[in-house]
Structure 1
Amino acid sequence: MGLWFLNRPRPIKRTISVILDFLAIPFSLWLAFSLRLGEFYIPPNQQLWIFVLAPVLAIPIFIKSGLYRAIIRYIGMDAIWTIARAVFLYSLIFSVIVLTFNDLAGLVPRTVYAIQAIILMLFVGGSRMIARWLIVKSDHHLWKEVNAVRYIPPVLIYGAGRAGTQAAALMKLSNQMRPVAFIDDNVTLWRQQINGMTVYGVDQLAKLIERFKVRDILLAMPSAGRRRRSEILKLLEHYPVHVRTLPDLMDIAEGRLEVSDIQEVDIADLLGREPVAPINNLLSKNITDKAVMVTGAGGSIGSELCRQIIHLSPSCLVLYEASEINLYQIERELASLALDIPVYSMLGTVLNQQRVEMVCRRFGVNTIYHAAAYKHVPIVERNTNEGIRNNVFGTLHCAQAAIDAEVETFVLISTDKAVRPTNTMGATKRFAELVLQAFAESKTLYNKTRFTMVRFGNVLGSSGSVVPLFRDQIAKGGPVTVTDPEIIRYFMTIPEAAALVIQAGAMGKGGDVFVLDMGEPVKIVDLARRMIHLSGFTIRDNDNPNGDIEIDYTGLRPGEKLYEELLIGDNVSATEHEKIMRAEECVIEWPALVKIIRELELANKHDDCQKARAILLDTIDGFIPQCELSDWLGNDN
């Protein structure tokens, strides 16, 4: 019967529910009389009309209360409470109407109203719970039939809270995964039953994996902090299971969770880095009610800056980007937010100083976040002059345009690779910093524009990041490529990096170099191992020749170094934000620097990579290239 009822169209289901309630209401009234009087009650003729009045009065109240909008399959305590309120309201109005007629008041004992309300609650609520039981039973039989035809993978759910129980219910309905048990740290829940599944402690994990042949574990703890999730992931690394996680807690709270939302473990959870709450006045200082422009707006950092800036209520946001497809994508994404903030998409290169200045004047730009740059180390190493042209002269032209257009604030997105660089990319970013420092120090050039530089390390998920590369390699069965077993990097999520850039830019007084606290460095090979384990695979090496995925060491790439640094000197001071420090760097005065720039420009114009490299070596403190330029000369340069 459950399956028959389940397959009916929704209007038919509602009609059946109304008919059953229409019959139950007068029956409950008759039964209330019979129980009250202790006999098989036969109502007198003058009383029959109240048996007609009861359903005519109750059904509209039930409809208005939403009883027939509830989906039987998902009915719960909220629906029972709705039924109770509807029945109480009906009983109150019904008793008032009957008691109004003096000739009937004596024929209806007053306790009948309360007795009928209780019976009606049992009928209306009970009928729905029985229907739900029949549907679930039919679903169970259907699931068995489906399972007999195709294999549905078993899954353990780590977390027996609201998120875990909701995920288990959805998986049972979807027939894509088969939840078999809960794992939870709460001792009071152990051996308890939730939705027909038992809750176990972590110490039972190995037995459960073996017993149910589990290959997947779902981490259903969206409210836990990153540090706690990182601890759990470290624990699960030792088991041959694929670990996945639920989305943001807000999606679950708003009922938007679906089985398709179950996703791979957020790499930020592996690092266990807890984000620091932003200082709101720093976020808004250079943005709120101001015209803001982002160069390289379609890149990893540039696009995230745009996402955060538009929520800080600028008067307008200008997207400046050389890539048409990147510009189109970020424009569409921001348009989908439907915020009442003008967004202007401008195609152009940062090398075109006249266009940058025109755009700044046209939209009255107050703040520029300069994220446009070539950042991929080996590619810039092979294309030295293009890297210099874009990173050095692009920054120079943008800064000159900002000065001429009287832009208030100019924030350069720099990199940890600018510190004692071993590659051309890092050297060009340090040269770009020197340009802005010279502008800030020069009394003749410096007008109204305040220049600030912000350095940070690698961001998770950016273009060229190892994380998407490792995921792709693991999905293909390996090998996972790591350049060197000792290589380490600092990591930060893109949203956190963008938020800190915005706050650091607001603290600048002119010529400041800010350094972001990137936390603890991470060995890339350890990151690779954890991603392999949490994908449910084992590592193939000499100790385990039958493992699933091999780690292949390819050697350092051109210009790459084992350890990244964030500071040049030790002269560092704290700021009002605990994750942002101010570094005091040596400056080359503008008259001296402008001569170097002219020499570099001439070498760049003639495509003389050797000369350009020599100039960088003489100018940038600590620049020690890891590879000879001659190794990369040829068609690329």
Structure 2
Amino acid sequence: MIYKMLSVLTRKQKSYVFLTLDLFLLPVSALFAFGLQNLQTTPVETLFQILPLLPYVMALTGCLLFWLGLPQVKLNAYERYAIFQTGGIAVSAALGLVAGTTVFGPELPMGTYVMFGLCYFMAMAGARIFLLQVVLAIYRRAEPRCRVLIYGAGGTGTQLAQALKAHEEIDPVAFVDDNTSLQGLTLMGLPVFAPARIQEIITSRRISRVLLAMPSQSQPKQEQIIQRLQNLQVDVQALPSFAQLIGTEALVEKLTPVAPKNFLGRRAHDVPLAEATQAYRDQVVLVSGAGGSIGSELCRQVLACAPTRLVLYELSELALYTIHQELQGQAEALGIDLVPVLGSVTDPRQVREVLSAHQVQVVLHAAAYKHVPLVEANPLAGLANNVFGTRTLARVAGEFGVKRFILISSDKAVRPTNVMGASKRMAELVVQDLASRSQSTVFTMVRFGNVLGSSGSVVPLFQEQIARGGPVTVTDPNVRRFFMTIQEAVQLVLTAGADAKGGEVFVLDMGKPVSILQLARQVIESAGYSVRDPETGEGDISIDIIGLRPGEKMEEELTLTDELMLTRHPKIFCAHEAVVSEIEVASFIRALRQAVASNDNLAARQLIARWVEGDGLATATRAQK
């Protein structure tokens, strides 16, 4: 009954109750302190002389209580900081009494003021502790709590006990620990027993659950203890360490979600798709690389454009399964035919079957190997997939009269210094050649910088390194990159697909390039950590400079020419770059096939170095001889 009456009070009403209690205890403490110190030596008249001063002291104390917010502190949260506040208020009240008696009289012995402060402090703190116990006792009688035995009285166990004491539904009763030096002690107000007495304790203290709080114990030892406890018919639960819960072992889950736009170094562009949507509505659209970061976002946004059919073309079984499962429900609700196709765009026979069977009208080609170090280490596989795959899909698209073919390219294709960039540039040359000769299919390409949040990109890498406790690795302190969000990249692709006339290279106004070193600092700080100072060693996560990787540039470029044309969107530009002839394209494709077929890495690198702009790749190739 009493508990229910208290529970219906609002937090504000409860704070007024505590304020009234604190003010009531002030004159009581003053009179008690006066009686202890002065009753034998001071006339009783002096007591009545100081009574008019108490309202003044109470008003001062009331203002202080409101300012510090002590009445608002919940009973079960009345701990060290609130106790310090209580002490400060008691000292202030005593000083107020000193000031009042000094000005208006009569002056009292110093011991009286000290005793008043001590009495007031003990009265306020004691009243709260007493009320907490009363409320808990009433609640426990009204609402039975789960009585818990904690196995392990070490650091994890004591922290667990402290946390459970404030829990309304769990009642920690005792510890059990193998350490004989702890047995017989009382920790956090709970007795510590030997494991030999565990059956007796469970029975006598009505234990219903045992919590294992010993994460450092070996797995066989824990299993042995669990097996023994299961025979006692109690629930057994094992806890990880608090380091695992709140420390470095759980940092991936702990990381503050990072909004990619925070790292752009510019305001994110919102490319309106209202007009572009018409290019995909009621069309059969094929997305190659549908399970990748860009490909999957393309699928999501294309699905919103209401095509009649969306073909998901993907080499990875897991990636295809994942994106198909994600979109299947939405596609069914919209009446869109969603078709998963497992295969490679390098297979001409399968590509023809797919485009013919589904009568594809729009191709969004995102399938590619894009990770620079991996392609650098496996150049022939990268060239075969990125160059031959693009040529196969693009040529078959032209043969079957596909309306639009959009190649997803990269800023690394501009004067490349690595095989991945060179393969993308050669793919561009293939598409540009087809665009110059096509009568029915519009071939175009979209070129953009690094995509924040995509698989293998720098932000997820930094997050993984932070999760391991560091260090975060940066190749060079002066490296800078253009960045865009996945949403921006896909909006650009879809807009380009709608606006293209054939042979263009579409690029986005990506603002200024972002310092990778500064980005690393931002990601560390956004996760709630500080960057370690290399000189003093202060800070949480260090940043290591490891040197440029093979084929890596200090800065990337977006176009081969400075002559950019405006489009209907102010942040999207178009460039018409020089193309090579059909004969030249056929020549380097034939030579490249021979190099790949003969597994000749050096010959392949020398060949592509002759065909791409700039001398960066040629220099790197000569260095590898």
TM over 0.5: yes
Q: Is 1:372–2:367 an aligned residue pair?
A: yes
Q: Is 1:387–2:379 an aligned residue pair?
A: no
Q: Rate the CA distance shift 1:540–1:603 in 2: closer, same or farther, 3 A.
A: same
Q: Is 1:294–2:291 an aligned residue pair?
A: no
The correspondence for 2:260, drawn from 249, 264, 267, is 267
Q: Rate the CA distance shift 1:322–1:627 in 2: closer, same or farther, 3 A.
A: farther
Shift of 1:544: 3.4
Distance in 1, matches of 2:467 and 2:589, equals: 47
Shift of 1:264: 2.2
Contact 1:427–1:623 under 8 Å retained in 2: no
Letter in 1 for 2:307: P
- 1:137-186 deviations in whole A, cap 9, x for unaligned? 999xx9xxx9995459xxxxxxxxxxxxxxxxxxx9999xxxxxxxxxxx
Q: Rate the CA distance shift 1:355–1:574 in 2: closer, same or farther, 3 A.
A: same
Contact 1:380–1:386 under 8 Å retained in 2: yes
Distance in 2, matches of 1:280 and 1:547, equals: 45
Alignment correspondent of 1:341: 336
Distance in 1, matches of 2:487 and 2:168, equals: 35
Contact 2:414–2:558 under 8 Å retained in 1: yes
Q: Rate the CA distance shift 1:630–1:520 in 2: closer, same or farther, 3 A.
A: closer
The correspondence for 2:392, drawn from 379, 382, 397, is 397
Give 5+ residue unaligned stretches, structure 2: 8-134, 144-157, 171-245, 247-252
Letter in 2 for 1:297: A
Contact 1:422–1:561 under 8 Å retained in 2: yes
Contact 2:256–2:527 under 8 Å retained in 1: no
Letter in 2 for 1:359: V
Q: Rate the CA distance shift 1:147–1:582 in 2: closer, same or farther, 3 A.
A: same
Distance in 2, matches of 1:433 and 1:407, equals: 18
Give the share of equivalent positions with the same residue, in percent: 46
Q: Rate the CA distance shift 1:265–1:602 in 2: closer, same or farther, 3 A.
A: closer
Contact 1:283–1:499 under 8 Å retained in 2: no
Please give the secondary structure, in 1, of the residue aligned with 2:542: strand
Letter in 2 for 1:517: D
Distance in 2, matches of 1:485 and 1:505, equals: 37
Please give the secondary structure, in 2, of the residue aligned with 1:333: helix
Q: Is 1:484–2:484 an aligned residue pair?
A: no
The correspondence for 1:472, drawn from 464, 469, 479, is 464
Letter in 2 for 1:435: V
- 1:477-528 deviations in whole A, cap 9, x for unaligned? 1111111111111111111211111101211111111112222211011011
The correspondence for 1:319, drawn from 312, 318, 323, is 312
Contact 2:417–2:620 under 8 Å retained in 1: no
Shift of 1:570: 1.4
- 1:38-86 deviations in whole A, cap 9, x for unaligned? xxxxxxxxxxxxxxxxxxxxxxxxxxxxxxxxxxxxxxxxxxxxxxxxx
Distance in 2, matches of 1:380 and 1:627, equals: 18
Contact 1:514–1:583 under 8 Å retained in 2: yes
The correspondence for 2:353, drawn from 342, 358, 361, is 358
Alignment correspondent of 1:238: none
Alignment correspondent of 1:546: 538
The correspondence for 2:606, drawn from 588, 593, 614, is 614
Alignment correspondent of 2:404: 409
Contact 1:422–1:624 under 8 Å retained in 2: yes
- 1:195-233 deviations in whole A, cap 9, x for unaligned? xxxxxxxxxxxxxxxxxxxxxxxxxxxxxxxxxxxxxxx
Distance in 1, matches of 2:479 and 2:270, equals: 30
Distance in 1, matches of 2:555 and 2:163, equals: 47
Shift of 1:534: 2.6
Distance in 1, matches of 2:3 and 2:400, equals: 72
The correspondence for 1:571, drawn from 545, 563, 566, is 563
Between 1:272-281 and 1:448-457, the stretch displaced more is: 272-281
Shift of 1:272: 5.7
Give the 5 Å matches for 1:94-243: 149-150=161-162
Distance in 1, matches of 2:2 and 2:457, equals: 52
Q: Is 1:581–2:576 an aligned residue pair?
A: no
Please give the secondary structure, in 2, of the residue aligned with 1:344: strand
Alignment correspondent of 2:587: 595
Distance in 2, matches of 1:380 and 1:148, equals: 50
Between 1:273-282 and 1:561-570, the stretch displaced more is: 273-282
Contact 2:265–2:511 under 8 Å retained in 1: no
Distance in 2, matches of 1:310 and 1:406, equals: 22
Contact 1:460–1:494 under 8 Å retained in 2: yes
Contact 1:558–1:627 under 8 Å retained in 2: no
Letter in 2 for 1:271: L
Please give the secondary structure, in 1, of the residue aligned with 2:617: coil
Distance in 2, matches of 1:539 and 1:287, equals: 47
Alignment correspondent of 1:85: none
Shift of 1:261: 12
Alignment correspondent of 2:514: 522
Shift of 1:458: 0.5
Distance in 1, matches of 2:487 and 2:461, equals: 20
Letter in 1 for 2:259: D
Shift of 1:6: 13
Shift of 1:627: 6.9
Q: Is 1:284–2:267 an aligned residue pair?
A: no
Distance in 1, matches of 2:392 and 2:6, equals: 68
Contact 1:423–1:626 under 8 Å retained in 2: no
Letter in 2 for 1:395: T
Between 1:408-417 and 1:601-610, the stretch displaced more is: 601-610
- 1:275-317 deviations in whole A, cap 9, x for unaligned? 3333334421331110000000001100000011001100110
Q: Rate the CA distance shift 1:467–1:3 in 2: closer, same or farther, 3 A.
A: farther
The correspondence for 2:297, drawn from 293, 300, 304, is 304
Contact 1:559–1:627 under 8 Å retained in 2: no
Letter in 1 for 2:606: A
Letter in 2 for 1:560: E
Shift of 1:474: 1.1
Q: Is 1:432–2:427 an aligned residue pair?
A: yes
Q: Is 1:498–2:498 an aligned residue pair?
A: no
Shift of 1:270: 3.7
- 1:67-114 deviations in whole A, cap 9, x for unaligned? xxxxxxxxxxxxxxxxxxxxxxxxxxxxxxxxxxxxxxxxxxxxxxxx
Contact 2:454–2:486 under 8 Å retained in 1: yes
Please give the secondary structure, in 2, of the residue aligned with 1:414: strand
Letter in 2 for 1:491: F
Q: Rate the CA distance shift 1:484–1:272 in 2: closer, same or farther, 3 A.
A: closer
Letter in 2 for 1:368: V
Please give the secondary structure, in 2, of the residue aligned with 1:539: coil
Alignment correspondent of 1:562: 554
Q: TM-score, normalised by structure 2?
A: 0.59
Distance in 1, matches of 2:490 and 2:2, equals: 54
- 1:370-390 deviations in whole A, cap 9, x for unaligned? 000010001111111111111
Contact 2:256–2:526 under 8 Å retained in 1: no
Contact 2:534–2:542 under 8 Å retained in 1: no
Distance in 2, matches of 1:416 and 1:347, equals: 29
Distance in 2, matches of 1:2 and 1:481, equals: 61
Distance in 2, matches of 1:341 and 1:262, equals: 37
Contact 1:559–1:626 under 8 Å retained in 2: no
- 1:218-268 deviations in whole A, cap 9, x for unaligned? xxxxxxxxxxxxxxxxxxxxxxxx9xxxxxxxxxxxxxxxxx999523232
